[in-house]
């Protein structure tokens, strides 16, 4: 759980946006890989707010080594499931 907290905090510090949730989390040979959901643009109604998924990579100590936005979507819309669950 501490790794998740660190990742969310580091991503927020770099992007200026708070993470809402972690949608995937796995240990890798180099450390950890996460997919984090972030509120990018708040709109009214809330279902129209713009969300984004970020792929975040951490080393074995939980320090962020890289991140990238992998998709953007409106909060109220679901997308077709992509191969590999992403």
**How far is Cα 78 from Cα 32, in angstroms, rounded to an integer?**
26
Q: What is the mean pLDDT of residues 20-46?
A: 93
pLDDT of res. 9: 92
Residue 51 tokens read as 């969300």
Q: What is the pLDDT of residues 13-22, one digit of tens each?
A: 999 998 999 9
For residues 86 and 68, give the distance between their C-alpha atoms in angstroms, rounded to a whole number: 14
Q: For residue 81, what pLDDT band results from cuts at 50, 70 and 90? A: low
Q: Evaluate whether residue 68 is within a structural domain.
A: yes
Tallying the residues shown for the chain, one arrives at: 86
pLDDT in the model for residue 84: 54
Q: Strand 19-27: give its sheet, edge to edge.
A: 19-27, 31-41, 50-59, 64-74
In a domain, 62, yes or no: yes
| Domain of residue 10, CATH code | 3.30.505
> How many structural domains does the chain have?
1
Inter-residue contact 45 to 68 (CB < 8 Å): no
For the segment 29-49, the average pLDDT, to the nearest whole number, is 93
Q: With 90 as the cut, is the pLDDT of residue 59 above it?
A: yes
């Amino acid at each position: 759980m501490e790794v998740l907290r660190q990742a969310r905090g580091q991503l927020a510090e770099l992007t200026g946006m708070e993470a809402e949730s972690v949608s995937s989390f796995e240990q890798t040979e180099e450390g950890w890989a996460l997919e984090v959901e972030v509120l990018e643009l708040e709109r009214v109604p809330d279902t129209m707010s713009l969300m984004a998924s970020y792929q975040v990579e951490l080393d074995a100590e939980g320090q962020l080594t890289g991140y990238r936005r992998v998709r953007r979507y409106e909060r109220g819309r679901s997308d077709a499931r992509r191969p590999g669950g992403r």
